[in-house]
Amino acid sequence: MFYFQCAKVIFISAFTGRAADSGIRNFRLQGEGGRTIFMRTWQHPTQTVILASGSPRRKELLCAMGLSFNVIPGERFDENAFIDAADPGGSLERLAIAKTKRVAARYPAAAVLAADTIVVCGNRVLGKPADRSEARGMLETLSGRLHRVMTGIALTCREIDFCQSAVAVTNVYFRSLAREEIEWYLDSGEPFDKAGAYGIQGKAMIFVDKIEGCFYNVVGLPVKETIDLFKAFTARKEPWHVANE
């Protein structure tokens, strides 16, 4: 088990108080027109959070969101057996839920988060390549085309019978890739642990013409959907309250 205590990023200069029972911290910001904005961030020191994934990219993104969590990858799943090309979004959600429930069975009081990402190009579902040849074929398929990056995400707490999931979709447009560029990228070693055989945050950034949607979803963890699940878990409190002084 690995434990990550993430540095909390303070966006507001003046700390005004804490709602200890709810785990919500309030920060005071002077807004336009003399308004006072109270920003609540999800801070629940008594709640154990488990990331059921060994992905270093998901660890980094969850840390950047300000959460402290344990990393406990669940047992390996045959992910290809879960994914249905006719319903990629729904099958991704079911896979993420299955992963959370496997870990939640061992840690029922914890809030367990899991996610899985695939690339869909036309009717083809592209997971992680098995070898160089498969990675090359995936990159050739994506060259000069639009594809969708889909992430299924789930949050489960068995003790309170909480389980919610979501799926995020980002459209990614690749420019046409020369054979030499593909071989150069394969030589870098980056493609082999990534859905669709590329990492947008790495050397493959130069392949991208444009994206529509969440960039971090392409990296591996959609920010809005992740925060929405934790908001739902903490009694569905709204993140912002605006009041006039």
| Angle (nearest 5°) at CA 227 between 216 and 214 | 25
228 tagged catalytic:
no
Q: Smallest Cα–Cα separation from 197: which of 145, 121, 126?
A: 126
Strands (E), the chain: 2-4, 14-19, 24-30, 35-42, 49-51, 69-71, 111-121, 124-126, 146-157, 162-174, 208-212, 240-244
Q: Smallest Cα–Cα separation from 149: which of 169, 167, 165, 166?
A: 169
Q: DSSP secondary-structure letter at 145? A: S
Catalytic residue among 21, 84, 116, 187: 116
Distance CA 69, CA 102 (A): 17
Q: Catalytic site residues?
A: 116
